[in-house]
């Protein structure tokens, strides 16, 4: 039988276009969602105050070092933290990489402070150097420093072109290229998988550890791909893509990836995996690389990976960890990093599933006042040692995405709760402090740079998305915006949506593909026509509306569990429990 060929549609392009359209009329959106303009402006003002309280204290007490210690009004150099750096090896005049400044540049543009942005660009252009004997984490330096420099360069070019007196001459791009070139020795392994740690001056050190995480070697493609597109030097994208392809080739028969591996042998070290720490941004970067670069290779990886996650990790609104070889659950726990997942699902168009998980995260937030690092789902208690909250942005990020997709004012109220908690529990005279223990709310003397690059940025955009007006951006895992441009695409996704369709068919054949495999946004189609055959991204309807069947081929895939339905002896499709 001839296989059906459903209409193919880039769902993510639809959503991005919708986000841009919504941003084009913020006043109208304010009146439609019933939240109120005055209330929106008040919350916007609170976020602006938060950002500058954190930023000004960093500039006063920690700059040009990397991050602020808000309780003691001191500083910490994150290169030493991330790389166990021996400070005696550094030049006496070394003052850090000004990490928080780099991370804040795109946020300054989002907030509309181009004067401070220009001042930061000038200082970095004249003072920042990476020619230091420093052992650093490749993943962290990639998403924080390289991503921050690339994003700020693009923004500087954009806004410099609007300023007749603009004197920007690609200084940040030169810094980014210098840093990227220092990453390349890490990829010189038999597998192409990069070392987790590298010395910026001397490359990979003798007896360097060969263990890394899935995120560490599978979340480099956005920044290094963008660097290649901007410089014309293909080495950066080629190295990151080779590592990603190798990592994907190591997936289990269930299309699941582990959490830690050996870069020399290409073998998994830890087979228990989920969507949280060590793996999270791997999934995030697959779909975002597809949006940014347009290659079907990224989509195909994400398609298979997403279905596997929904099938083996999902339990109702929660996502547990499982053995990638068997799919059997290993750890029933919520981690704060998992809160990014509803945002990814929203990009995909699987909004119903995203909302379900987001609301459960919000319930945990309300219970503790913030989101604990780990929460044991099977016992309903905090993890005994990981009780901290380091001002993480993932929950605010997903709240922003869901509001943009739905315009439901409930998400603005969630934003109020986040802002209220941050100001009540973490604001101190010298900035915003991390929480050491959410059960006691004892504080820790650390203001992470991502509080400025992500947490404050997503909260601001929740109430004022004018930065997105008539533009499409993808935000990296560190919150740095990269523009979606046709010149970076292998092909341009279609943006047309048939307005009168109820079922996508080929001849008289019923749908035998999911919305995900058809590249159709299930949320968009559902809102256009309640007769949509798709209930989720993975859902495949049964052949017959009556759910009668003659064989397993007449049965589809469950919309919630993403598991295949089978035909019973009585002739009905369902998730029948096999008895052996």
> How far apart, in Å, do the first and last CA atoms of the chain sit?
33
User: Residue 89, Cβ neighbours under 10 Å: how many?
Assistant: 13
Would you call 552 a catalytic residue per the annotation?
no
Question: Alpha carbon of 55 to those of 177, 227, 541: distances in Å?
Answer: 27, 27, 52
Residue in this structure with the two tokens 């998730």, named with its chain if needed: 575
Give the tokens for residue 69: 């210690």
Query: How far apart are the C-alpha atoms of 255 and 219, rounded to whole Å?
Result: 18
C-alpha dihedral (405, 410, 415, 418), degrees to nearest 10: -130
DSSP one-letter string for 331-365: E-EEEGGGGGHHHHHHHHT-HHHHHHHHHHHHHHH
Would you call 373 a catalytic residue per the annotation?
yes
Query: Which residue of the set 321, 373, 416, 465 is catalytic?
Result: 373
Query: How far apart are the C-alpha atoms of 571 and 580, rounded to whole Å?
Result: 20
Nearest by Cα to 348 from 159, 562, 153: 562
Query: Which residue of the set 77, 118, 140, 416 is catalytic?
Result: 140
| Residue 477, marked binder | yes
Query: How far apart are the C-alpha atoms of 112 and 288, rounded to whole Å?
Result: 25
The conformation of residue 197, written as its DSSP 8-state character, comes to: E
Would you call 280 a catalytic residue per the annotation?
yes
Query: Which residue of the set 66, 77, 177, 280 is catalytic?
Result: 280
Give the tokens for residue 260: 């830690």
DSSP one-letter string for 110-138: HTT-HHHHHHHHHHHHHH----S--EEEH
Query: Which residue of the set 394, 464, 523, 535 is catalytic?
Result: 394
DSSP one-letter string for 357-407: HHHHHHHHHHHHSS--SEEETTTTEE-SS---B----HHHHHHHHHHHHH-
Query: How far apart are the C-alpha atoms of 174 and 491, rounded to whole Å?
Result: 28
Q: How far is CA 295 from the centre of its chain?
A: 19
Q: Which residues define the annotated binding site for Ca(2+)?
A: 477
Report the catalytic residues.
140, 280, 373, 394
Q: Which residues define the annotated binding site?
A: 477
């Amino acid at each position: 039988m001839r296989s059906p060929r459903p209409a193919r549609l880039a769902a993510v392009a639809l959503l991005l276009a919708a986000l841009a359209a919504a941003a084009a009329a913020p006043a109208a959106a304010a009146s439609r969602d019933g939240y109120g303009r005055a209330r929106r402006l008040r919350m916007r003002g609170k976020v602006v105050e938060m950002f500058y309280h954190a930023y000004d204290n960093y500039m006063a007490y920690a700059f040009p070092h990397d991050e602020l210690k808000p309780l003691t009004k001191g500083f910490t150099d994150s290169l030493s933290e991330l790389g166990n750096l021996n400070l005696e090896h550094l030049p006496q005049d070394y003052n850090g990489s000004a990490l928080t400044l780099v991370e804040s540049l795109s946020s300054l543009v989002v907030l509309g402070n181009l004067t401070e942005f220009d001042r930061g660009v000038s200082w970095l252009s004249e003072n920042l150097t990476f020619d230091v004997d420093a052992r650093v984490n490749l993943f962290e330096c990639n998403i924080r420093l390289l991503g921050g420099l690339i994003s700020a360069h693009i923004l500087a070019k954009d806004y410099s072109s609007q300023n007749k007196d603009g004197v920007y001459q690609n200084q940040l791009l030169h810094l980014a290229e210098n840093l990227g070139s220092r990453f390349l020795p890490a990829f010189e392994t038999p597998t192409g998988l990069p070392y987790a740690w590298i010395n910026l001056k001397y490359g990979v050190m003798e007896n360097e550890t060969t263990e890394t995480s899935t995120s560490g070697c599978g979340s480099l493609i956005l920044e290094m791909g963008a660097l290649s597109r901007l410089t014309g030097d293909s080495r950066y994208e080629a190295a990151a893509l080779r590592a990603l392809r190798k990592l994907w080739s190591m997936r289990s028969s269930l299309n699941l990836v582990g959490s830690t591996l050996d870069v020399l042998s290409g073998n998994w070290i830890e087979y228990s995996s989920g969507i949280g720490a060590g793996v999270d941004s791997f999934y995030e970067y697959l779909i975002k690389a597809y949006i940014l670069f347009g290659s079907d290779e990224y989509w195909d990886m994400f398609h298979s990976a997403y279905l596997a996650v929904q099938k083996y990790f999902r339990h109702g609104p929660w996502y547990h960890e499982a053995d990638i070889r068997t799919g059997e659950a290993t750890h029933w726990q919520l981690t704060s990093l998992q809160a990014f997942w509803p945002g990814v699902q929203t990009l995909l168009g699987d909004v119903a599933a995203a909302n379900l998980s987001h609301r459960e995260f919000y319930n945990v937030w309300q219970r503790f006042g913030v989101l604990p690092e780990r929460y044991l789902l099977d016992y309903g208690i905090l993890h005994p040692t990981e009780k901290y909250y380091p001002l993480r942005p993932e929950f605010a990020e997903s709240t922003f995405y869901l509001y943009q997709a739905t315009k439901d004012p409930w998400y603005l109220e969630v934003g109020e709760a986040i802002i209220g908690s941050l100001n009540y529990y973490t604001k101190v005279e010298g900035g915003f402090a991390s929480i050491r223990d959410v059960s006691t709310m004892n504080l820790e003397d650390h203001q992470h740079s991502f509080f400025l690059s992500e947490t404050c940025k997503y909260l601001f955009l929740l109430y004022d998305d004018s930065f997105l007006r008539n533009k499409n951006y993808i935000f990296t895992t560190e919150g740095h915006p990269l523009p979606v441009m046709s010149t970076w695409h292998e092909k341009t996704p279609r943006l047309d949506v048939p307005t009168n369709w109820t079922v996508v068919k080929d001849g008289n054949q019923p749908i035998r593909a999911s919305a995900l495999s058809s590249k159709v946004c299930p949320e968009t189609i559902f809102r256009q026509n309640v007769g949509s055959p798709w209930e989720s991204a993975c859902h495949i309807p049964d052949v017959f509306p009556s759910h009668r069947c003659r064989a397993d081929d007449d049965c589809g895939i469950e919309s919630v569990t993403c598991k295949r339905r089978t035909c019973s002896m009585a002739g009905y499709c369902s998730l029948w429990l096999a008895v052996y």
